[in-house]
Structure 1
Amino acid sequence: MRALSISTVLAAMHVVTAVLIAFFAAHLMERSFVGGGRAPALEFLSRAILVAIGLWLLVRALRARRREGRHEGIGVALTTGLVPCPLTLFVVVAALSQGVPEAGLVFAGSMVIGIALTLGLVAVAAVVGRRTILQTVSGKGDAVAIVSRLLDAAAGLLIVVFASRDLLQ
């Protein structure tokens, strides 16, 4: 259930950010469609926060203390969801320009549902896979702890590398 709720928060944030940009900046986007579907300030903020999260994962893995916060996943979902959905932004702006904002909102609602279902299925598969692996290796506590720390460190490093690369472009 936690995996499904986190994926739903991510999907909702991703689409709602686009809808808010469309409604509050529609007049600006009508004048200049060159950067349509982009929100550079939010993208920068999201990537900077992701770099911080990646560094935190890396430090946590190196410290060898494993404590998962209950709200850790929600924070990551909110942060990554700051990057607006380009397709939703495009469709909502087009709907606004045609005078049918309801059509844009219906589209946005369907995007939330579709993205949440897709991410939810991936999240459930990851949780089931994790449980299966943990059951398979139960009794090998030290080895699992070491592999877990290595995976945390690798995940943190990858997040830092990719978010920093996008941040510097």
Structure 2
Amino acid sequence: MARSKPTGASRVDRPANGAVGWLMRIRRGDTFIQEFFSDAAYGGKRASQRAARDRYSELAATLPPPKTSEGAMSVRNSSGVVGVRLAREGTDAAGEPRESYVASWRENGRDRTVRFSCSAFGKRKAFQLACLARELRTTDREVLMAKLAENRKAGKSAAGKKAAPKKAAKKAAAKKTAKRK
């Protein structure tokens, strides 16, 4: 099995410049630290790599955790739900665009996705299922269908929140339209 390079370290081999060793870099927020670990100073390639890895681990333990975009709404998001998007891929036999709602998230360092076809479920139900999949972080369709039925029976939205009465929703939409005019 091939060896993997240590996190935050890159090999530098430039003997003409006298730079042969490992370059360790770490960035956390506004803090950026970069250090060079020369093979000559540490007694060889493996020793300098170990020193770079140890220094990275030491700094990672003292600095705050890295910021991620997990749960942040992107400006490109058009669905209004983090991790849920409408995918349009090709056309069906009738020439209509094939659409599906896709829920995505990271789990144990791997990307997970599940898609729900708008033609199979209808646009509204596909969106609700994708929202549930994202919230529950599961690709098990049976669990999702059961949870959706349970939420509908309890009068809740796809996200499990109490659904607003239809009259109030219509009134709010009419008010919004009136403001635009």
Q: TM-score, normalised by structure 1?
A: 0.23
Q: TM-score, normalised by structure 2?
A: 0.22
Larger fraction in strand: 2
| Greater length-normalized contact order (CA 8 Å, ≥ 6 residues apart) | 1
